[in-house]
Chain A
């Protein structure tokens, strides 16, 4: 028993509703954290995972209060401690690494000073010892040149570096337990892989216990020894990481793993029906009953207890888990999607498109000089065929959303042409486009919370495009709205609802319906699934695919998630710093030979499989500006061959797989290098 560092016993946390009812967010949660162990807490938004993690450091959000149970840290109940007592524990014994380090660091204090503050508070070292400790810590989190780093301000660091500083600060007090709340969620794929690698190293090196909270099973798989799966405020499955990820014996975990798109699979992931019940609306019986395909009458009436299965070393909350044992080869399946015929005509052509955010200087304007020689996006040539799904992939700053905005007419191009249907040039200025062209190209946004007017009902939202483009009114308008809702699998009663009354998935469905209301030819999807939970993401992807197959719409799909892109797209274009690196049919882009950048991206993808470790080939530097000459990827390329990369723009090479790669290395050589 001695090696248990924190144990949570029968913890319930809740709040009082306006009607005076007590509603629990956490229900009867019990778990133990052992010394030196990394526990991953995974769940979708609203599952109570963050509430649990915060309670583990004795913090309960305002408005919430513990209903029963205790949080024992070294046999002392954190929830009963005074704030004075907690002060002594937090930082020294339990430290936390927040989700967004950029917001957690004070913007106008130097990094070194902020770490020094933590050291002053949590250690008894003197000034010179502390200075030594600061560079030691910065070294440990692998920040380059720790001496100068200490004198920088947070804004001078990239997101990944800020996160490293947050790790260094947390380590300052030599804590026994580290709490990580989605520490890599806002970071780029390659940076994310690097930070996770660092965390794994630190856990081994210092023997610190970690609690890693995330919705991302891919990230959890990389760091955790043990995984706790939460659903609707309860632990539904708990056990060794490998067992959970390879042989999940709870139907929710099983469905969750199935709904994650995987790099190795071409088709769409299977989706789980429905959504997580809201706190307060949970009736008797199993909370997963509505979405479960193993459910029996027993599940409706009785709530299952967390049952310990000795031979698997797993706790599971399900009556029928036995049906899932030895079922798990099914995890590697997907729904095959219909591919379009490649004979179709081109519907949209981007020809030598360049886009610049730089404002023309006043004098240059007078002299009619072009001031920006190095625009954000340059020389984009993409032909998009009717009925295909083309994906633009890249990390933040790759220009993928910028290109999308230009196609939509929201951003003027600097050079080049956008041609629509039969080579007609489309003005890049929205006001110059005719109404029919505006109708033909529609946008779906990343975050449905922002893309739907909070003061409009679903009916009002959907009637906007119908009124504008088709002049509908009265009964006809209503009929069309109901049809649209049916198309996105929502009932008629959704018409009178406001966005705030819908779940994330439902909101995105409304946004999809609004785009389809215009009967468009092309739909531009800007990271449409990245704000959604995994199980909902799969459902939205399936819906988009279904609509496309029914209506023959063309998608331009922007995403940073290579697995999602793999699932939905027919063709992929990889972008770095606003320049195309590789373009080709999606099954070929995901095969070698690839452009070195594609190789880096593919290597950094986190799969929910403890056996697939990310390959970290390139440094996670963030470049702010594209290079003026040569290859766009010269700064980070692990396969750079010399001066030619710095001076000349690489030529396009067509591989035998049909993907075009822009690299100086001969494509056969690239293939043999990447084997």
Chain B
């Protein structure tokens, strides 16, 4: 009822709109908590190279498996490296890889989905069946194959993750496009003789953008988990790069007597995932898209 009311018609610029959305997100406790966690992680990732007390790859036999103390806040691992240093640098790795990975997933998934939704017919059928086929392949196996063929550098991991997590976005973008495609303003643009590109850019994207962005935010947290799983299995970034999955994997055998070396990366990983999830939910609510009514793909 209320949204229909004509109250004021101030033309808001984009920055103001973004700020308003942030404000709405932060107005609920869950959104505020999510935003705070994500912001904390992002700031930490940005400044981490300048604040870490130790070198992340400096091995020292003298300081092996020390318990947390004033010198080593989170203790040290089996090679004598400072866990605090490696944890906050690990966040930087995880955020970089998954942020750019999500961006790639969003771009190719979103655009392909919109295109398929718009053109329909045989092209749509073929593309969607191919996407379905990829969805049926266990992604972790395919990732293992790619990584063992091409190596574990971030230049390989980012596009590979982006590819595998974009498949789901294709379906969401296509469904969102189908929602708007039946509307008369699209028919009107078609009847005027606009090109497909112009219809996608002017008429469709402004109307499906929100749904795709929310989906992308959700995928980001899934990708984070996926990336850490890869590292845990030893197929993520290669040592000695600090990485949460790798740290958990290395320290899990020592959990019974050196719990500190495994707890810090676990807390980092799970808090970031929860934070992103809460933020994505608040983002969806602020944009007026309720994820709970949409079936997950």
Contacts and interface: CB of A to CB of B under 8 A. Distances in A.
A396 interface: no
A450 B183 contact: yes
B193 interface: yes
Contacts of B7: 280
A332 to B, nearest CB: 36
Contacts of A408: 191
B9 A496 contact: yes
B27 to A, nearest CB: 11
Contact of A457 (B2, B11, B185): B11
A456 interface: yes
Nearest to B209: A455
A447 interface: yes
B287 to A, nearest CB: 12
Contacts of A465: 192
Interface string B1-13: 1111111010100
Contacts of B203: 453
A579 B67 CA distance: 89
Interface in A251-282: 278-281
Given A447-B184, A455-B207, A501-B6, A409 B191 contact: yes
B1 A464 contact: no
Contacts of B194: 464, 468
B293 interface: no
Interface string A646-665: 00000000000000000000
Given A410-B190, A455-B206, A18 B2 contact: yes
Interface string B144-188: 000000000000000000000000000000000000000111011
Contact of B9 (A279, A450, A468, A497): A497
A439 B193 CA distance: 8
B206 A453 contact: yes
A115 B7 CA distance: 45
Of A447, A453, A500, A503, the most chain B CB neighbours within 10 A belong to: A453
Given A438-B193, A455-B206, A280 B188 contact: no
B193 A433 contact: yes
Please classify the interface of chain B as helix (H, G, I), strand (E, B), loop, or mixed, using the class held by over half of its residues: helix
Contacts of A581: none
Nearest to A61: B1
A186 interface: no
A278 B5 CA distance: 7
A460 B4 CA distance: 21
A443 B2 CA distance: 32
B5 A453 contact: no
Interface in B194-223: 194, 198, 202-203, 206-207
Interface in A484-509: 493, 496-498, 500-503
B189 interface: yes
A450 B185 contact: yes
Nearest to B189: A464
A65 interface: no
A280 B5 contact: yes
A17 interface: yes
A604 B55 CA distance: 89
Of A18, A435, A464, A496, the most chain B CB neighbours within 10 A belong to: A464
Contact of A410 (B2, B11, B191): B191
Please classify the interface of chain A as helix (H, G, I), strand (E, B), loop, or mixed, using the class held by over half of its residues: loop
Interface in B1-52: 1-7, 9, 11
Interface residues of B, number: 25
Contacts of B198: 468
A241 interface: no
Given A410-B187, A450-B185, A279 B192 contact: no
| Interface range for A | 35 or more
B2 to A, nearest CB: 6
Contacts of B2: 15, 17-18, 63
A63 B185 contact: no
A73 interface: no
Contacts of A503: 6
B11 A438 contact: no
Interface string A45-67: 00000000000000001011000
Nearest to A514: B188
B185 A451 contact: yes
B16 to A, nearest CB: 14
A64 B207 contact: no
A516 interface: no
A430 B206 contact: no
Contacts of A468: 192-194, 198
Interface string A442-473: 11011100111111110010001100110000
B84 to A, nearest CB: 45
B188 A435 contact: no
B1 A435 contact: no
Given A63-B1, A501-B6, A451 B184 contact: yes
Given A450-B184, A454-B207, A438 B3 contact: no
Interface string A498-529: 10111100000000001000100000000000
A651 to B, nearest CB: 36
B28 to A, nearest CB: 15
B192 A518 contact: yes
Nearest to B10: A496
Interface string B226-241: 0000000000000000
A500 B7 CA distance: 11
Nearest to B205: A455
Contacts of A456: 202, 206
B6 to A, nearest CB: 5
Contacts of A457: 11
Contacts of B202: 453, 456, 460, 464
B208 to A, nearest CB: 10
Contacts of B191: 408-410, 430, 438, 441-443
B6 A435 contact: no
B5 A279 contact: yes
B9 A445 contact: no
A453 B207 contact: yes
Contacts of A442: 191-192
Contacts of A61: 1
A442 B190 CA distance: 11
B206 A445 contact: no
A452 B4 CA distance: 16
Nearest to B195: A468
A387 B257 CA distance: 92
A500 B3 contact: yes
A500 B11 CA distance: 13
A438 B206 CA distance: 25
A15 B1 contact: yes
A90 to B, nearest CB: 23
A443 B193 contact: no
A434 B59 CA distance: 73
Contacts of B6: 278, 281, 501-503
A446 B183 CA distance: 11
Contacts of B184: 445-447, 450-451
A283 to B, nearest CB: 15
B202 to A, nearest CB: 7
B211 to A, nearest CB: 12
Interface string A387-416: 000000000000000000000111000000
Nearest to A498: B9
A496 B192 contact: no
A468 B201 CA distance: 14
Contacts of B193: 430, 433, 435, 438-439, 468
15 contacts: A61-B1, A64-B1, A278-B6, A280-B5, A430-B193, A435-B193, A438-B191, A443-B187, A450-B185, A451-B185, A453-B203, A455-B206, A464-B194, A464-B202, A500-B3
Given A438-B192, A451-B183, A453-B202, 8 more contacts: A64-B1, A408-B191, A410-B187, A439-B192, A443-B188, A446-B184, A460-B202, A465-B192
Q: Kindly list the 10 A-B residue pairs having the minimum CB-CB distance in the complex, ordered from nearest.
A: A455-B206, A438-B193, A451-B184, A496-B11, A445-B184, A450-B184, A453-B185, A450-B183, A408-B191, A501-B9
